[in-house]
Amino acid sequence: MSQGKPTPLSGFPEWLPAGQLVQRQVIDTLSRTFELHGFAPLSTRAVEPLDQLLRKGETSKEVYVLRRLQADSDDPADASGLGLHFDLTVPFARYVLENAGKLQFPFRRYQIQPCWRGERPQEGRYREFWQADIDVVDRDTLSPHYEVELPLVIADALGALPLPKATMHVNNRKLSQGFYTGLGLSDPMAAVRIVDKIDKIGPAGVGAALAEELGASDAQVKACLALAEIRTADGSFADRVAALGVSDPLLDEGVEELTRVVEAAAEHAPGLVVADLRIARGLDYYTGTVYETFLDGAEALGSICSGGRYDNLASAGTESYPGVGLSIGVSRILGRLLGRGELTATRTVPTCVLVALPDDASRPACDRIAATLRRRGIATEVAPAAQKYGKQIRFAQRRGIPYVAFPDAEGGVEIRDIRSGDQAPVTLESWQPPADDLHARLSTE
């Protein structure tokens, strides 16, 4: 009985082979860049205890709960005690606590894995998505210079990809919380979460929420919105904050830390970072610098790289492991660029060489040719059928395979570049394609 054509599930992208090659190239590029900066690879399990996933500000409706279809009541995991992780920071914090005795601190790690979040699917937002994270954690204290270093690592990583220019907007949670405390708001952390929604509900919506939820006066609302309007590419934001006339020790500390980040980035990566005091980041575990990154011309896509400093996420008893991390939304970037044809692969298969098949009896000899090339790291496949050579060449062209190898009756081989038509005899043990042809590459054409 036919079941008919399956219905796609919204929010769970499955790229075509060319898109998969693009994703693999992006992940490989990010991995190489992170390792150049000394970050070690890490992979963690897909599930975490729900009490861990929900304890730092995430709402339960966004977490996918794990439950077996045939549940065993004696297994505590069947009591909806596990959920799929919605980011890689919470699992990483748990991993650090479990393995602290085996790790060398400060510990630098990168992690590129799928995550799951039950939100409304739209361009760049999925229910299953890949993230690429880097974090540095230390025992007890973490030097503030890492809050400067990580944006520079991300600049190298994004700069190695054929993407539009990216701008990183930074703020400091101490600055925001200290400002709201000095302003006299009843719940400064609630104010942080409200202001974080300014791009979604607008200044008027933020003002109304501050008044309704926190009882903020008109003057307090005006001051909060004035702070959120401050954006500079240098340390001059500090003077504009001071001009608002609010004082608090935590505010002063946040201004100092943010100034250090902005000025260092201006020196080492001009144009990368701007101080943007509307940036707040909704999760509760951030305690210092926070980051959101936007592609120029694609700001409506939202932040494609976010994160911040956290001091209390990884702690147990008297032990604490403060850290700072940034996360690149790999699927968010690819969803836009692949969907609009702005990023493709130079071919739809990994194959560099197609071995033409003169006749069915020649398949063993053609398999040996392919094996010789593969041993030298050249991706090779044999034509699926012994058709006319013109059809076999078109088979390669449709897939973007750049070279076709033609065996002759004497055991020799000629290789044709089917783009230029150049063809010449080769020695299989020494022939090498140009580096640009060896693997499928990213292309913006």
For the chain, report the end-to-end CA distance as a whole number of angstroms.
45
C-alpha 302/C-alpha 292 separation (Å) is 9
Residue 68 in marked binding region: no
DSSP states of 106-171: SEEEEEEEEEE-----BTTB-SEEEEEEEEEE-SS---THHHHHHHHHHHHHHHTSS---EEEEEE
C-alpha 84/C-alpha 66 separation (Å) is 7
DSSP states of 86-111: SSSHHHHHHHHHHHGGG--SSEEEEE
Residue 140 in marked binding region: no
C-alpha 399/C-alpha 384 separation (Å) is 13
Among left, alpha and beta (phi > 0; psi -120 to 50; other), residue 247 is beta
Residue 141 in marked binding region: no
Residue 374 in marked binding region: no
Residue 3 in marked binding region: no
C-alpha 301/C-alpha 335 separation (Å) is 10
Residue 285 in marked binding region: yes
Q: Of 419, 424, 388, give the one whose Cα is nearest residue 403.
A: 419
For residues 439 and 21, the answer to whether their CB atoms sit within 8 Å is no
Q: What are phi and psi of 138, to 5 degrees?
A: -135, 170
Residue 286 in marked binding region: yes
C-alpha 239/C-alpha 232 separation (Å) is 11
Question: Which residues are bridge partners to 295 per DSSP?
Answer: 166
Residue 372 in marked binding region: no
Helix (H) or strand (E) run with residue 310 in it: strand 305-310
Per-residue tokens: 184:
């006299």
Residue 74 in marked binding region: no
* Binding-site positions: 87-89, 117, 131, 135, 281, 285-286
Binding residues for L-histidine: 87-89, 117, 131, 135, 281, 285-286
